[in-house]
Structure 1
Amino acid sequence: MILSTARLTLRLLTVDDWPLFFALHNNSVVIKKCFDKPSEAQIRAKFNERLKPWRPASNHPLCLVISEKSSGKQVGVTGFTASQLPDIQEVGYLLLPEFYGRGYATESLQAFLTWARGEFNIQMVKAVVSAGNRGSEKVLEKCGFKLVRVEPLAYEIAGVLLDDHHFLLDCTDNS
């Protein structure tokens, strides 16, 4: 499976993508906005979980690698995480900082969501962003997500409790 946009390609994660996945989970800029630095064993477990075949009822993630068409360089990953709620998929994405500010997160997320809605008839998609990650919030807003709830002091990064911002995209809303 390959998705294509004007500037990007998205394809399923493979075992050969370990260096990208490891780099995304070890980059201090990415970590500062998203999570505490995981151990290599934790990263490997997340990676292996994302290699499994996915369907909407799966309780494991779907992960696609994002690459630039022009250079072939790997930009990051996007996909669904394992959602705790029935009939709602949770989306996530991580990009290498050298690709920030180019619109790649928005472009890849829009392509991914268009594909997922058509392929699997996805009805609702959620995303959770820690307070302070305004770049990710802008991406979600550009893709049609609405902020529906703020959960105070819900997530800890580097010893600091942060609010979680919960976003929702109603895929059945054609307005």
Structure 2
Amino acid sequence: MQLETKKLFMEPITETDWALFKALHTVPAVIEKCFDAPPDDELKAKFRARLQAWTPDSGAWLTLVIKEKASGEKVGITGFFVDQGIAEMGYLLMPEFYGQGYGTESLRVVIDWAEEELGLALFRAVVTEGNIASERVLEKCGFRLQEKIPEAYEIGGQLYADHIYQRVSTG
């Protein structure tokens, strides 16, 4: 499986993507508005889980590595898991690629693929309060804020609200 846009291509994560996966879960600029860095053993288990064969019914994440076409550099990861017919979306980008529209571009093609190939029509994403850049990406991709859950998530000892976004396909 490979997805492609004007500037990016995405393909399933492999063993060779460990350094990227680890960076995306430990670099302060990436995780500061998402989560605390997990312990090494937990991070390795999470990575192994992402390497599993994926099907819409597996309950596992479809994790795609985003690469820049021009340079071949790894930009980040994107993907989703399906729970009761709802695609729970997620994405993380390396800071050097912020502000280039890659989050929006990659998310749009993943959603288009999920709609066309899997017939999915309902998409959901949870964003931590204050992660304005991620909220903008979701809004550009047709998501709308559905709910705010106060003090739902702790990062660095501080409680934040979860912002629940949803997108319903019209086709």
Q: TM-score range by the shorter chain?
A: over 0.9
Q: TM-score, normalised by structure 1?
A: 0.95
Residue aligned with 1:54, SS: coil
Q: Deviations over 1:145-173 (max 9, x none)?
A: 010000111001001100000000112x2
Return the alpha-carbon distance in structure 2 between the equivalents of residues 158 and 81 of structure 1: 26
The match for 2:119 among 121, 140, 149 is 121
Partner of residue 150, structure 1: 148
Segments of structure 1 that go 5 or more residues without pairing to the other structure are none
Q: Deviations over 1:10-60 (max 9, x none)?
A: 000011111110111110011111101111111111111111111222211
What is the aligned residue count?
171
Partner of residue 24, structure 1: 24
Segments of structure 2 that go 5 or more residues without pairing to the other structure are none
Partner of residue 57, structure 2: 57
Asked if the contact 2:57–2:82 (Cα under 8 Å) also holds between the matched residues in 1, the reply is no
Return the alpha-carbon distance in structure 1 between the equivalents of residues 137 and 45 of structure 2: 28
- What letter matches 1:117 in structure 2? E
1:30-49 superposed matches below 5 A? 30-49=30-49
1:1-175 superposed matches below 5 A? 1-81=1-81, 83=83, 86-171=84-169, 173-174=170-171
Return the alpha-carbon distance in structure 2 between the equivalents of residues 30 and 167 of structure 1: 20
- What letter matches 2:10 in structure 1? L
- What letter matches 2:63 in structure 1? C
Q: TM-score, normalised by structure 2?
A: 0.97
Instruction: Detail structure 1 runs of 4+ shifted over 6 Å in the superposition.
Output: none
Post-superposition offset of 1:82: 5.9
Post-superposition offset of 1:81: 3.7
Q: Deviations over 1:124-143 (max 9, x none)?
A: 11000000000000000000
Q: Please, what is the CA RMSD of the aligned residues? A: 1.0
